[in-house]
């Protein structure tokens, strides 16, 4: 099997997006999937000013900007089988645009309930179901579901929810993430410290809950990993990392693979320090989980995840000048897109050479999207009727 280090050893900057009129944090990145576009592969970026920017992936030239959002955007996702791009917003909606149309008006609006403030969302692998997680309002913390299919015959662009989950989290639902291959499997993370796994094909929430894992702190990121994606992992707002193997739920083997309360205290990086974690990616070709972190001055650190812990692999330097907030890996050409608080979108490719461009100064934007940190119980396990890990 190839080593994961070989795929990242020669990454360097190939392209850098041009300066825009309104500098903004780049909070989330996704790329179009399996659909030929007139402008090639498209990159969608959600920005702290409430807009979604669309770029040509190879040139990083700005194609369009979808703006006018009344609230903060909380993620951007392309459909898997068509030219639709989705974004969730704190105004309690998920909006869908058709990239084949030149207009800036959504072709569909998925509306939540009146008090909903969405802070996370995802669409499943067959593009049939959308799920969005809410902030806690009063006693309500919801995972809201819609039928994601957009009918060309629809006379009303607003679609109401199919239903909600309301009993399995007690605080803000910061992350929801569908399984890459199974459209019914869903993992969620919350500031209550819990990471829950559901089979949404089962009729009611209690029976749909397969496993509950306790991270011990406020969850900032969740994902799937491992062969057949039978593992889940999470990161926390105080830079913790947990990794669980769901294949062991029915065995005597431990479900917890790793539980690191603060990665900053256990990892040694070259020429600097680790200030924060951004997220993770499962590299299928090498069957390895990679953790992405960085420094407040823009250096990106890549960490390899194994049964013995996290190990430093390499750093990407000379690109960003401030905190990196988002990334997207391409399995097609082994390239990496990164976005940060310096308003830059960068494309890293193996062996690339960038035409000289001055690295932009750190942006001193007053941010309204700072992460909230909530410290919770350090109990590694939480007793539930269902499987707990």
User: Considering the domain boundaries, does residue 281 fall inside one?
Assistant: no
Exposed, middle or buried: residue 334 (CB in 10 Å: 0-12, 13-18, 19+)? Answer: middle
Q: Say how far apart CA 183 and CA 165 lie, in whole Å.
A: 17
Domain count, the chain: 1
Total residues belonging to the chain: 389
Q: Which helix (H) or strand (E) holds 108?
A: strand 108-111
Helix, strand and coil in the chain, % to nearest 5:
5, 45, 50
Which pLDDT does position 67 carry in this prediction?
A: 74
| Strand-pair category, 345-350 with 335-340 | antiparallel
Which pLDDT does position 372 carry in this prediction?
A: 41
Whole-angstrom CA distances from 302 to 7, 40, 218, 281, 315 are 12, 28, 22, 10, 6
Radius of gyration of the chain (CA): 20
DSSP secondary-structure letter at 228?
A: G
Which pLDDT does position 154 carry in this prediction?
A: 57
User: Considering the domain boundaries, does residue 228 fall inside one?
Assistant: no
Q: Which residues contact 72 (CB under 8 A, 6 or more apart)?
A: 48, 50, 89, 90, 368, 369
Helices (H), 125-235: 205-208
User: Considering the domain boundaries, does residue 37 fall inside one?
Assistant: yes
User: Considering the domain boundaries, does residue 296 fall inside one?
Assistant: no
| Strand-pair category, 42-47 with 219-225 | unpaired
Helices (H), the chain: 4-8, 205-208
Sequential pLDDT tens for the chain (389 residues): 468 888 898 899 999 998 877 789 999 999 998 655 555 789 999 999 888 999 999 999 999 888 756 667 889 999 998 889 999 999 999 999 988 887 778 889 999 999 999 999 999 999 999 999 999 999 999 999 999 987 766 555 899 999 999 999 999 999 999 999 999 999 999 999 999 999 999 999 999 999 999 999 999 999 999 999 999 999 999 999 999 999 999 898 999 999 999 999 999 988 789 999 999 999 999 999 999 999 999 999 999 999 899 999 999 999 999 999 999 999 888 999 999 999 999 999 998 887 654 444 455 444 444 444 444 444 443 434 456 77
CATH value at residue 131: 2.130.10.10
Nearest of 251, 319, 294 to residue 16 by alpha carbon: 319
Nearest of 240, 192, 189 to residue 211 by alpha carbon: 189
Nearest of 231, 208, 255, 249 to residue 387 by alpha carbon: 249
Nearest of 266, 321, 263, 271 to residue 292 by alpha carbon: 263
pLDDT digits (tens, 9 = 90+) for 35-93: 555 557 899 999 998 889 999 999 999 998 887 566 678 899 999 988 899 999 999 99
User: Considering the domain boundaries, does residue 260 fall inside one?
Assistant: no
User: Considering the domain boundaries, does residue 133 fall inside one?
Assistant: yes
User: Considering the domain boundaries, does residue 157 fall inside one?
Assistant: yes
User: Considering the domain boundaries, does residue 233 fall inside one?
Assistant: no
- Unique residue bearing structure tokens 């007690």: 170
Owning domain of residue 75: 22-214
Sign of CA dihedral 388, 209, 167, 126: positive
């Amino acid at each position: 099997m190839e080593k994961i280090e070989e795929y990242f050893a020669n990454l360097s900057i190939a392209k850098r997006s041009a300066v825009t009129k309104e500098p903004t944090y780049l909070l989330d990145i996704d790329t179009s999937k399996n659909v030929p576009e007139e402008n090639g592969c498209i990159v969608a970026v959600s920005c702290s000013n409430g807009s979604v920017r669309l770029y040509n992936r190879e040139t990083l030239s700005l194609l369009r900007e979808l703006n006018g959002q009344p609230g903060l955007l909380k993620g951007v996702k392309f459909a898997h089988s068509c030219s639709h791009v989705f974004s969730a917003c704190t105004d309690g909606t998920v909006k869908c645009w058709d990239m084949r149309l030149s207009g800036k008006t959504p072709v569909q609006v998925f509306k939540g309930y009146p008090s909903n403030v969405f802070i996370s969302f995802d669409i499943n692998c067959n593009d049939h179901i959308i799920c969005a997680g809410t902030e806690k309002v009063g006693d309500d913390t919801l995972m809201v579901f819609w039928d994601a299919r957009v009918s060309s015959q629809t006379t009303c662009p607003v679609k109401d929810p199919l239903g909600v989950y309301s009993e399995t989290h007690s605080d803000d639902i910061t992350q929801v993430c569908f399984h890459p291959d199974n459209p019914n499997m869903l993992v969620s993370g919350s500031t209550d410290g819990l990471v829950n796994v559901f089979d949404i094909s089962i009729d009611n929430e209690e029976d749909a809950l397969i496993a509950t894992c306790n991270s011990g702190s406020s969850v900032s990121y969740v994902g799937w990993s491992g062969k057949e994606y039978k593992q889940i992992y999470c990161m926390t707002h105080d830079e913790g990392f947990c990794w669980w193997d769901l294949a062991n739920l029915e065995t005597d083997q431990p479900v917890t693979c790793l539980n690191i309360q603060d990665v900053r205290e256990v990892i040694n990086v070259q020429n600097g320090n680790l200030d924060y974690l951004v997220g993770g990616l499962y590299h299928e070709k090498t069957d390895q989980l990679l953790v992405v972190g960085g420094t407040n001055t823009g250096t990106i650190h890549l960490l390899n995840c194994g049964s013995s812990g996290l190990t430093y692999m390499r750093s990407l330097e000379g690109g960003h000048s401030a905190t990196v907030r988002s990334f997207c890996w391409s399995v097609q050409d082994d390239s990496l897109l990164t976005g940060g608080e310096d308003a830059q979108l960068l494309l890293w490719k193996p062996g690339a050479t960038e035409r000289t461009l001055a690295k932009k100064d750190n942006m001193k934007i007053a941010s309204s999207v700072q992460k909230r940190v909530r410290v919770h119980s350090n109990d590694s396990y939480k007793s539930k009727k269902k499987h707990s890990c």
